[in-house]
Structure 1
Amino acid sequence: MATKKATAEATTATKAAASALAVREGEDAWTKSELEEVVGELREQREHSLQVLTVQEAELSGLMKDPGDGAGQDQADMGATSFERDHELTVLNSERDKLAQIERALVAISEGSYGICESCGEPIGKMRLMAFPRATLCMTCKQREERR
């Protein structure tokens, strides 16, 4: 439900005011075609994430149904099953986080706040956003975060 709403809002934003989005000093304003390209990329990423989530959830469901403590299972088998479950959960949570970032980016586009660093409030930069459309931090803040 939120996905369709974000898509509709993002489409409206591309028609409304691509040039009103934040850019770094020395960069040209967003053009309608540049923003449409970013929105298209976000939509593709969202569709891919939704497909991955569907597959991962099915695999995890199968692993959760397998108790792993049946006859003939030694500690190594149980350990391997437990490791596999943990790995699937990690992949699933990572994909959910990615999907949330995509949705946030689409909403930010629709609200006209796309391209503003969530940490310092400065523009993230068109080139960074075109390379990584779901970025929420400028390079300086991202580097600072990664050092922690």
Structure 2
Amino acid sequence: MKSAAEAARRRTGKGRSRAGEAESAVAEVRSVIRNTFARRAPTKPLTAREKKGLKQALMDLRDRIIGEIQFLSSDNLSRSQRDATGDLSGYGLHMADQGTDNFDREFALNLMSNDQDILYEIDEALARLEAGTYGKCERCGKY
């Protein structure tokens, strides 16, 4: 029954706060990128100041994403389904409760997968930033 309450809290906004935080972090990085390139077309390497601002925004986003992955994995992978639901009785769960719990767990695992994809992209962007190739086309080599 606890998982149904958790699902209700997620639907009413508690779960959205984490998603909202990630969305705002992504929007923040997009804003930094937009402001970096709004002054000029990306026809040359970034200045040291632009690199510093972009790197800081990417590192902040990376920290938020890692925190979310750790939260989701500790909440869903480190506990058994019985522990996660708070079921202390020896009786089995109702099938509908099991379905809700399975849906919640699958949803969280999908969020983790998406976060890991974002983390990979952030790490790639940071590597290109360090190499001095950020903003440069990987195919033709033009900025």
Q: Shorter-chain-normalised TM-score: which range? A: 0.5 to 0.7
Letter in 2 for 1:60: N
Tell me the equivalent position of 2:5. none
Is 1:71 aligned to 2:71, yes or no? no
Following the alignment from structure 2 to structure 1, what is the Cα–Cα distance between the partners of residues 91 and 138?
53
Task: Select the structure that is richer in helix.
Answer: 2
Correspondence for 1:41 among 48, 53, 57: 57
Is 1:61 aligned to 2:51, yes or no? no
Following the alignment from structure 1 to structure 2, what is the Cα–Cα distance between the partners of residues 26 and 47?
29
Given the two structures, how large is their TM-score scaled by the length of structure 1?
0.56
Deviation (angstroms), 1:113: 2.1
Q: Structure 1 unaligned runs (5+)? A: 1-24, 124-148
Tell me the equivalent position of 1:104. 124
Following the alignment from structure 2 to structure 1, what is the Cα–Cα distance between the partners of residues 41 and 70?
43
Letter in 1 for 2:68: V
Q: Tell me the percent identity.
A: 25
Is 1:87 aligned to 2:107, yes or no? yes
Cα RMSD for the two superposed structures? 2.7
Q: How many residues align?
A: 98
Moved more, 71-80 or 99-108: 71-80
The answer to whether the Cα contact below 8 Å between 2:42 and 2:135 also exists between their aligned partners in 1 is no
> Which structure has the higher relative contact order (CA within 8 Å, separation 6+)?
2
Deviation (angstroms), 1:99: 0.8
Deviation (angstroms), 1:84: 0.5
Q: Deviations over 1:30-50 (max 9, x none)?
A: 221111100000110111111
Q: Deviations over 1:113-137 (max 9, x none)?
A: 21134577654xxxxxxxxxxxxxx
Q: Deviations over 1:63-116 (max 9, x none)?
A: x51158x72412111110110011010111111111111100011112222113
